[in-house]
Structure 1
């Protein structure tokens, strides 16, 4: 009953909407770029602003969450480096493996999943997780993606400040700190909430479209990153959550759930931008990473169902 409930209440809705996006891409010439732009520039910032202004999480919980996100990324990068060396990966492919392991899809998959599984606290925690992870991706992630390339990585740091998400977060934090948060029934908050809620289905449609457009050319080399995401990620996240000692168990559970999400899409864009060329006949880092995203997303359906059931039942944390 626990697995059935977890699937129908959390994983099933995500899968259903993503399948609609996949079918749309298969049956029409729908362009994903406008949807993705609307999500990144309007819907997600509104969701972040509304979630932060209305959250009941205290500063201590947010600080621990931020520390946990950074710690998780660093540990997973180290583990992935070791696994990559064992399986013979090197250069740009080793970097792609580390990116796939360290950065979960905390936005397109994590936010809807966390909200379906743990309600408003889940959504707010997931938004904060994504915000901190974005900062790590555009610093440490860019460094990994650009290692060995001729170009430097500092130029990509402006991406943090080009996207409205960081400003929405700063505005929400400032309003909370100054104690001037508008009422929940005010026009501003109702508008932000309405627009932010629209981000959930849109992100899932984009996920489905992206999966359809994925060029799956390196499935046989996706075993290592898939194993890291499915098996190692939850264990490492649970260990970090226990070490940090979150006062609110729901925040700890969402942290674990976010960390166990499949490989993120953003590192793929960084890999395309910075990865060095490959020898003819070899797979490229973008091909390796795009296949990993596809494989981990499909493989995570069952794994996340089990994890949600365990977290909701209190078997974990």
Structure 2
């Protein structure tokens, strides 16, 4: 598979849809938050439920994937923290750099990309990656922000956010139905409807990404080099190392895991910084993280194209 082939088959559809969202964001005053809310509370949970309920992944594969996601996040966070300290980043920006480096956009970019490259298996693996990452983000991620800003936001408040995530309940419901053997027929009305709703989440999520990028004000470009380098170059290598250590039984799952690790910085940590840091600090950090999100999203086109080409050529797993 050539770089051009990898780009046109897997990356170009994502770029094209996100670009339409970007044009909509620049040409209109559309409010992206309602779209984001609908995607996170309705379309994405449907995608997660259908994927988990119908997946061929074994229980051992799911456990290995969850462990790998946790290990990846912790290792990258440690690297980012140590490197940020060595570079003398202020505490407020350091927390932003840590979160931007360690939490990839495994949902709004990773799920569509994995679906284009690996089909249903990639889509399901990506949704499980996202679910695990979301739980970690709303626990350890909130703690990192609160500690760096001396925030009074408590751990209990952060933990409650986990139980407000619809996708967590979607995974739990699908897993319970599988355990009890009550999964509805795939070709029945219920599962067909859920599949239709979930499939609509992919273009919707990419459109939301594009609209969000249109609102970014580029500041801190020089300081954004550090977390952007970690996210786009170091994080994928960490993902490869962890996949080797975990030893996934299915090479496709290993490749999807690495692909998810290589996606750009996620948007959700930005919302956490705004919500859980003290007034007066969060705006500078938010501007910093917005710049990192924009830079990594644009440059990830090249990184992901090369990685998809390598995967399809059989160079990884």
Q: TM-score range by the shorter chain?
A: over 0.9
Deviation (angstroms), 1:141: 0.5
CA distance in 1, matches of 2:240, 2:203: 28
Partner Cα separation in structure 1 for residue 155 and residue 266 of structure 2: 19
Q: Corresponding residue for 1:2?
A: 2
Q: Is the 8 A contact 1:275 1:285 kept in 2?
A: no
Question: CA offset at residue 87 of structure 1?
Answer: 1.6
- Which region of structure 1 is more displaced relative to structure 2, 44-53 or 1-10? 1-10
Structure 2 partner of 1:175: 177
Distance in 2 (CA, whole Å) between partners of 1:303 and 1:51 is 27
State the distance in 1 between where 2:250 and 2:170 align.
Answer: 25
Aligned match of 1:237: 239
Matched ranges for 1:249-288 at <5 A: 249-277=251-279, 284-288=284-288
Specify the alignment match of 1:91 in structure 2.
91
**Which residue number corresponds to residue 153 of structure 1?**
155
Indicate if the aligned counterparts of 1:95 and 1:145 stay in contact, CA closer than 8 A: yes
CA contact (8 A) 1:146 1:153 kept: no
**2:189 maps to 1:187:** yes
Aligned to 2:224: 222
Alignment length (residue pairs): 315
1:207 to 202, 206, 209: 209
Distance 1:210 1:154 in 2: 29
Q: CA deviation at 1:150?
A: 3.0
2:217 and 2:180 map into 1 onto residues whose CA distance is 48
Q: 1:228-270 deviations in whole A, cap 9, x for unaligned?
A: 0111011100000000000000000000000111100110011
Could you say what secondary structure the match of 1:23 adopts? helix
1:217 CA displacement: 1.2
CA deviation after TM superposition for structure 1 residue 277, in Å: 4.8
Aligned to 2:50: 50
Deviation of 1:48 (Å)? 0.4
Q: How far apart in 2 are the matches of 1:275 and 1:162? A: 20
Q: 1:68-79 counterparts in 2 under 5 A?
A: 68-79=68-79
- SS of 2:309 mapped into structure 1: helix
Residue 197, structure 1, aligned to residue 216, structure 2: no
Residue matched to 1:30:
30
Output the aligned Cα RMSD.
Answer: 1.3
Which sections of structure 2, spanning at least 5 residues, go unmatched? none
In structure 1, runs of 5+ residues without a counterpart are none
> For 1:136-147, what aligned pairs fall within 5 Å after superposition?
136-147=136-147
Q: Which residue of 2 aligns with 1:309?
A: 309
The match for 2:300 is: 300
